[in-house]
Each structure stands twice: as C-alpha cells, then as structure tokens.
Amino acid sequence: MKRNQPALMLGALGILTSSLAFAQNFQTMPIQSGLTADVIANGVGSATTSTTTDVDGVSYAFVSQDFQATATSPALTYGLPTNGIINSVVTSTPGLSYVMANYSSNNSLKLSNQNDTGTIVFTTPKAAFRLYMLATSGSGASTVSVVVKFTDNTSQTFTGINISDWYDNTGFAIQGFGRINRNTNALETGSGTNPRLYQSLLTIDPANQSKLIQSVTITKTSTAQGHANIFAFSVDAYSSCPPPTLNAVGTITANSAAISWSPAAGTTPTTYDVYYNTNNTPPTSSTTANLPGVSGTSTTIPSLASNTTYYYWVRSNCTTTSQSAWSFSGNFKTLCGPMTSMSENFDSYNTGNIVPDCWVRNYVNGTMSISSSTPASGNRNIYQTTSTTQTPSTVVLPEFSNVNAGTHWLRFKARVSSASGTLNVGYVTNPTDASTFVLLQALSITNTNYTSANSEYTVIVPSSIPANARLAVRNTADGKGYYWDDVVWEAVPACIPPTAISTSAVTANTVTVSWTAPASAPANGYEYYYSTANTAPTATATISGTSAAGSVSKVVPGLNPATTYFMWIRSSCGTTSKSTWSYVGTFTTLCAAITPSYTNDFSTAPGNCWTNNQTGGTPATGPTGTTTSPLWVSGGFLNVGSANSMRINLYSVNRTGWLKTAAFDLSAGGYRVKFDYGVTAYNATGASAMGSDDNVQLLVSNDGGSTWTSLKTWNAASAPSNTSTTFSYDLVGYNSANTIFALYGTDGTADDNEDYDFHIDNFTVEAANLSTSEANAKNKEVKVYPNPFRDIVNISDIKEVKTVKVFDLNGRTLKTIENPTKEINLSSLNPGLYLITMYFKDGSQNTVKAIKK
C-alpha cells in the first residue's frame, strides 16, 4: 500500500533577485483533475505497485526520496522531495515553486503520441501575468501546444512549446533526483545531475491578465517518439497594485543608506512600506515593515551598523485596502566606521593577498595574505613572512572609538613556523603609512601550532595612545612564517586568566603546573581542571582542585600512572567571578613501579610501560636514539606462531636495539628474574649460531635506567639453542624501588653471515625462595631431546618420572602417558609448539616447551 500524501498549497512568495523588473508574486496552481498517470514510485513496496506506468515509454519511472523496495531497504539519499515541493533553480524566477500532485495517485499528464491531448483543471482559478509549466519528455524531446482557458470562456493559445528530453538539457527547474526500473526495481542515482524537469514560460496577453485561469489543454504536436509528461503549474499572479521598481542605491555612510524607487506604470500609490534586514530572507505579506507609510519615492534608512551588508524591499500601498507584493530585493553595504568591539576569524574571506574590510594592508615585500593553512578555527587565518633583508608587513586593524579608553585589550591566537619568533603589536597614526608604527608589546611566539598551551596572546592597550590611533600587527623580518587568527577587541575582563603556563616534574601520580600571574592577581587564587578527554571545561564545570592566592605553581596530586591527561587553569577573583579557562596542555604520567610478582607473557607487545623503540649505545652509555621501526618486535616464540613473545633479528653491522621493562619496586628484597629464551634462524625454527662479535645481554638498572649492570651475556661462545631454555637469576643485592631491566641486543661491527632471531618469553620477576617441589624439580637434570623433534622425543632420565602429559598452548591435555619409557611417541600430533610436563614420584614436576617439525 502507498502512503497517502495530502496536496499542498503555497501562498504568495517573497522574491530575492535583481530590481530591474517588476517583482513577481509567485503562487502555485493546485490541480483538481486531468492527470492521467502515476509515474513516481514512493513508499514501501515494488515500483510496479506504486506506479501505473513509466515516464519514457520503456521501463523507467521517477522515484520519491521515501521509496523503499522493502522495509529493510536502505533509505535513499536522492529522489523527488517527499513533500512534493519543487523549488525552481531557474535564475530568472528566484522563489518560484511548484507542488507536485499526490505521489500515491495520478501525478502526470502523459502524452505519448502525436495529437494525444488532455485538459488540466485548476482547483482555484487565478489571474496571472505569467503561467509556468513544469514538464519533461522521456526518450526524446516533445513539442506541445497549450490552450489557456479563462473563466469567461475566452482562451489564449500557445504553440510550439518545446519540452526537452529528461537527460542533460538546459532550462531545468530541478535535476539529479534519480529514477527506477519498474520491472527490476533497479535504482539509478543520476549522478546528481539527472533526470530533469523543465520550466516553460507562458506569457499572458495584457488583455487577459486580469482574467481567472480555469484550465489548460495540452496537445502533443510532434511526431517524434518523446513522451511528454506535464506535472504542475504556477503563476506570477496578477495584481491591480503591483510593486515598485527599485533604483540604484544613493549615498551610503557608515550608518545610513539613501534608497529610491519608481512606481509601477499606471499606478499612483498613496504610500510605500520599506523592510530591511542583514539576511536575504524575503518578507511575506504579514512581515512588519521597518519604515511603514513612506510618502514619496525615496527615503534614508537610518541607524545601521557600519561595514554591514543589508537587504531591503519596498511595497506599494495603493489604497487603504490594496497593497502590492514586496519588490525584488536591493542590497548595499555600509561604509567602515569606528567600532566599539570586534571579532574576526577571517573565514568569510577568500585566500589571497587581502585583508578584511576596514583593515589596511601595508605591504612592501615578502608575503602578507589570508591563508587556509591550519587555522585556529574555521578555514582561514592571517599569514605574514619576510626574509631578513625584506621590510616586514604591517596589518592595520579597523578604527575603534574606544581605542584609548584604557579599558580594552586585543586578544588573538598566534603561532610561528619554527620557534621562537616575535610578533609586534602596536599602533599607527596614519593607517596608510607604516612608518608611523609605534610598538606597544613584542610578543614572544614559542608555539608552532594553535593547539599548544599559551597559543592565545593578549595586549592591554593603555589610555596614553592617541585618540586617532589604529592598532596594528607587524611580523619580524627573520624568514619565519607568522600565523594569527580569532582576533578580538573587547573590554578587559574583570578576572584575567594566568599566562605562560607550563608543566614539569611529571611523576606517576603528580605533575607540577606553573604560570605567570595576571597584572591584577586573583584574590581567591586559581582553579584547575584535568581530564583524560580533550574536552575543554565549561564555566560551570566541577573543578579538579585549587591553588592559593599569590601562588604561581601547583603540584597536582592524585593522578593515575601511565595516563594521558589534558589540563586547564583559570583565575578565581571571587565566589562568582572567574576568568576564562586557559589551556595548560597535555602530559602523560609516568609508570608506577611494580611490586612483584609479575609476568609479561607478551600477549600485548611490548607490554604496558615497556619500551622497545630505543637504539644505539652500549650498556655503559645506555641507548642513544629512538626509532619508529623497533628492532625488538612481537613474534611467535622460536618462530612457532606469530605472536605472544618478543624477538630481535640480528644480521647486519651496528644493528642495536633495547627492550626495556617497566620499573619494579624490589625494596623488599629476595627476588629473582627469569624468562624463556632461544635462538633460531631468521623467520624459521631451525638452529643458528650467533655472529662472532654479536651479543645479547640482560641488564639491570637500580636508578631507573641511568646506569646499567650486565647480569648475563649470550654470544657465539655460549651458543644458545633453538629449544626453549629458562634463564633464572637471583637478584641478591638488588633492592632498589626503581629497578629496570633491559634486553640489549647488538650485531657488533663484524659483518658476519649469520642471520638469526633471538627470542624471549614469559618474563617474570618473583620471590626467589622456591617451594620444596619446585626445588626438587630444579635439581633434577632431566632433558627432553631432540628439540625440535619429528615423531619421537626422548627423556634423559626416566626412573623418577611417574607420568608425562602433553598440553597445547591453550592448556588442553592432548596426551597422558603413565609409567613412561624413555621414548615418547608423539607422531599423532600436528606440527607446532607444545608443553611437555613430567610429574615425578616425589610430587614435583617440570615443564618444557617442545617444537614438533
């Protein structure tokens, strides 16, 4: 079922266009009868159920934006407007609209063959100067004749009216609403330009303009295959009191504009009404005039804002009861004049070598332009640059009537292409003569982007400057690019925010914030706000803490370790008097020292508070650089699988990488460090030797990474194998509360042929005192070999082993062997990494990792 769509009617429309012709009183002409086809698919259901025929005589119909083949079909982003209102885009008829007939009933008079004819009867006859027809022709153009019949039984005939093919022709009122194949429900968007409905003008003879149009009879006269479809009509309604024609605008000042008009031919209105506004929305018949009952044909619009564009309309009052429609609009822009305040973000201007209206561009060489390069807000900012041998440019701001009142400041955001630079704020006494520039304040610009803390700058303008002074901004001739944006001239707030804000001394739980107090220090000190989201606080946001009056720094407590924060601070001048929030910036707290026990299984690489991006150096110097391509990376342990361990590939000279752990609090003493390791050929499971001067070391630092001690070195002489081996070291004497470990790997300076991976897994820091069963298991020198194996593994000493179990890496038991022999047949297992656990008769156990080829 199709949804019902009620017919819509539009009243008289105000028009915005040129004032060189009579204004038009556009009205729609709702259709009572005469439409013969439903060619618009709408609602939910197939096109064949919501239309009766096609537009083109083949298979294609129009589609409404609310059409869905099924209830779950995606909503269309194109289609004829669901409300049926077509706003014509023909430039000569701005404001002209049509109302389509109900999409759920016949909505087209379709004429396919020569001499096909039909009569459309209008619901409400209207008199008109002009009649507009909305139509299209499918599968080729059509020519029709139109007979307009009036209520007095007279008529006017129009012949040779061309209706263009529905694709790619000019004169369209609407385009790009798509179509649908009635047989397949296949939709076509028309790429935003097709199909099209065209507008035809039928000019009513002067003798007929006061007659009411009752109907139109349309006949197809062409023999070509085009299928004419007529959808709607509108009129430029006749009135015995037509609007006046606007003349060119007269004298314009900063606060007024002289306008005039000519009455319509043959009319002598008693008075006129004038309406004006800063937007171009046309007034309606019910709009209240700004200047009603104006005698004569001219007036001056008073009390306007300077440097502002206005739009205006005039209508005739022919009698006390007869009033015209509003004229076409006129427009003008008032001249520049003294301002009391200003806010400029440059977004309403094009890019180029210009400045805003009422500003002055004093330029000799270099660059001084409005730029789209990374503005503070919107899409524009000012850009200035001059080489060290060129004359800097001076940008003069508008005239301010209160420039020397001593109560205002200039506030703006600025950045420099490379820190640090100087932007000079001062004034000129002659806006066209840069030599009259007098410096008020040289601003040190340290930030290279607008998002940094302290990217907003303020200059309080003293009362001692001349009354005719114009504020100005001048760059420095240093080859650097200066950008500034969001310029505001305003009264100095009662409560001024702090400036020069910075953070320092970041710990795991605190940060120190410092600032410069405003000239008038706040009586109640300062308030700060921090968050893990980069969303600025509002004026009423719940604060995070305070700092006492007279302070210029604060240690902010209570932060979480390893967390990124965003912070703001403001002055508190009283219970209800607060400054605006100043952005402090962003910082990340340090990682807190971990009290063991602790294990990193590298399921997340490299691990929380671990680092793997440092390079170079030696254990004596520590790392000397960082890289975006770390050498220690995630991989499968011994190259089985693809994750959950860390490895370094050593193959070329001077290849050096560090894998540093989180900090540990070992102050309680009695800990050990252990992990599994092994060496394989590069990206393979086979064995490999290490290069002649290669080495991998386990290092420890008791001072958070400033100095290092080597606990273990692996090199060619130690010949680590490609089987899982557990390294363990009792940390006797290592009782620091800030202990860090590192795996340091280097390929040395010798260009050896070896290309191999050094792997580690299950990095653990734990108490060193072992349980009895663990000690017993450690003392048992039982080995599983070969490793990797094919089908058989051997246990070196079986006499104390009671049971052997084989597990996969998910902990699932795959095989249990009671009272095992020396040889264990594992031929039924697939290639991969397995855990083989030996359970001894004394209750202890030992687990090794084994790889099946």
We report the CATH number of the domain holding residue 315 as: 2.60.40.10
Q: Would you say residue 19 lies in a domain?
A: no
Within the chain, how many helices (H) and strands (E) appear? 2, 61
Q: Would you say residue 16 lies in a domain?
A: no
Domain limit, last residue, from 237, 272, 298:
237
Which neighbouring-strand residues pair with 425? 441, 473
Do 432 and 446 have their domain in common? yes
Domain limit, last residue, from 588, 619, 637:
588
List, in sequence order, every beta strand (DSSP E) within 58-207.
60-63, 85-87, 97-99, 109-111, 117-126, 128-138, 142-150, 155-163, 172-175, 179-181, 187-188, 196-203
The answer to whether the beta carbons of residues 455 and 376 sit under 8 Å apart is yes
- The CB density around residue 357, as the number of other CB atoms within 10 Å, is 16
Q: Are strands 481-491 and 408-416 parallel, antiparallel or unpaired?
A: antiparallel
Cβ neighbours of residue 102 closer than 8 Å, sequence gap 6 or more: 4, 5, 6, 7, 84
Do 763 and 780 have their domain in common? no
What average pLDDT does the segment 330-334 reach? Answer: 95
pLDDT at 78 over 70: yes
For tokens 């007869």, the residue is 322
Q: Structural domain tally of the chain?
A: 6
We report the CATH number of the domain holding residue 699 as: 2.60.120.260
pTM to 2 decimal places: 0.54
Angle at 284 between CA 283 and CA 287, to 5 degrees: 75
What average pLDDT does the segment 606-634 reach? Answer: 95
Locate 239 and state its tokens. Answer: 């009135």
Q: How confident is the model at residue 772, as a pLDDT?
A: 45
We report the CATH number of the domain holding residue 435 as: 2.60.120.200
Distance CA 376, CA 604 (A): 37
pLDDT tens readout for residues 260-291: 999 988 888 999 999 999 999 989 888 999 99
Do 259 and 189 have their domain in common? no
We report the CATH number of the domain holding residue 128 as: 2.60.120.1380
Q: Are strands 60-63 and 40-41 parallel, antiparallel or unpaired?
A: parallel
For tokens 């680590």, the residue is 720
Distance CA 315, CA 294 (A): 10
Q: Would you say residue 498 lies in a domain?
A: no
Question: How confident is the prediction for the chain on average, in pLDDT?
Answer: 92
Q: How confident is the model at residue 848, as a pLDDT?
A: 82
- Between the alpha carbon of residue 106 and those of residues 38, 100, 115, 120, 383, the distances in Å are 4, 10, 21, 12, 60
pLDDT at 532 over 50: yes
Which pLDDT band, with edges at 50, 70 and 90, does 332 fall under?
A: very high
Percent of the chain with pLDDT over 70: 95
Its domain, for residue 744, covers: 598-767
- Between the alpha carbon of residue 272 and those of residues 18, 296, 316, 632, 821, the distances in Å are 19, 8, 5, 84, 116
Rg (CA), the chain: 42
Do 843 and 760 have their domain in common? no
pLDDT tens readout for residues 8-66: 333 332 333 333 334 568 999 999 999 999 999 999 999 999 999 999 999 999 999 99
Q: Would you say residue 496 lies in a domain?
A: no
Q: How confident is the model at residue 20, as a pLDDT?
A: 35
What average pLDDT does the segment 461-487 reach? Answer: 97
pLDDT at 776 over 60: no
What average pLDDT does the segment 151-172 reach? Answer: 97
Q: How confident is the model at residue 3, as a pLDDT?
A: 33
Q: How confident is the model at residue 774, as a pLDDT?
A: 47
What average pLDDT does the segment 585-608 reach? Answer: 93
Q: Whats the size of the chain, residue-wise? A: 853
Q: How confident is the model at residue 7, as a pLDDT?
A: 33
Q: How confident is the model at residue 811, as a pLDDT?
A: 64
Distance CA 609, CA 588 (A): 12
Locate 208 and state its tokens. Answer: 């007929």
Phi, psi of 290, deg, nearest 5: -70, -40
We report the CATH number of the domain holding residue 807 as: 2.60.40.1930
Q: How confident is the model at residue 1, as a pLDDT?
A: 28
What average pLDDT does the segment 776-803 reach? Answer: 80
Q: Would you say residue 633 lies in a domain?
A: yes
Distance CA 495, CA 596 (A): 50
Element (H, E) at 314: strand 309-317
Q: Would you say residue 672 lies in a domain?
A: yes
Q: How confident is the model at residue 810, as a pLDDT?
A: 64
DSSP string, 642-669: SSEEEEEEE-STT-EEEEEPPPB--TT-
Do 549 and 684 have their domain in common? no
Do 56 and 184 have their domain in common? yes
pLDDT tens readout for residues 677-735: 999 999 999 999 999 999 999 999 999 899 999 999 999 999 999 999 999 999 988 88
Locate 245 and state its tokens. Answer: 């024609």
What share of residues in the chain are helix, strand, coil (percent, to 5)? Answer: 5, 45, 55
The answer to whether the beta carbons of residues 363 and 393 sit under 8 Å apart is yes
Do 409 and 535 have their domain in common? no
Distance CA 708, CA 743 (A): 11
Locate 716 and state its tokens. Answer: 């060619």
Do 696 and 750 have their domain in common? yes
Q: Would you say residue 51 lies in a domain?
A: yes
Which pLDDT band, with edges at 50, 70 and 90, does 643 fall under?
A: very high
Do 38 and 114 have their domain in common? yes
Distance CA 783, CA 337 (A): 95
Q: Would you say residue 15 lies in a domain?
A: no
Distance CA 293, CA 315 (A): 10
The answer to whether the beta carbons of residues 762 and 835 sit under 8 Å apart is no
Tell me the H-state helices in 764-813. Answer: 772-779
pLDDT tens readout for residues 361-386: 999 999 999 999 999 999 999 999 99
- How many angstroms separate the first and last alpha carbons of the chain? 67
Q: How confident is the model at residue 486, as a pLDDT?
A: 97
Do 730 and 671 have their domain in common? yes
739 vs 813, residue with greater confidence: 739
What average pLDDT does the segment 561-585 reach? Answer: 94
pLDDT at 79 over 60: yes
pLDDT at 493 over 50: yes
Q: How confident is the model at residue 777, as a pLDDT?
A: 47
pLDDT at 339 over 70: yes
pLDDT at 241 over 50: yes
Do 468 and 363 have their domain in common? yes
Do 541 and 427 have their domain in common? no
Task: Provide the sign of the torsion angle of the four alpha carbons 79, 82, 84, 85, taken in this order.
Answer: negative
Domain limit, last residue, from 195, 221, 237:
237
Closest CA to 142 of 118, 166, 172: 166
For tokens 């254990």, the residue is 619
Least confident of 214-228, 334-348, 617-631, 832-846: 832-846
Q: How confident is the model at residue 155, as a pLDDT?
A: 97
What average pLDDT does the segment 605-609 reach? Answer: 93
Least confident of 319-323, 358-362, 649-653, 707-711: 319-323
pLDDT at 123 over 90: yes
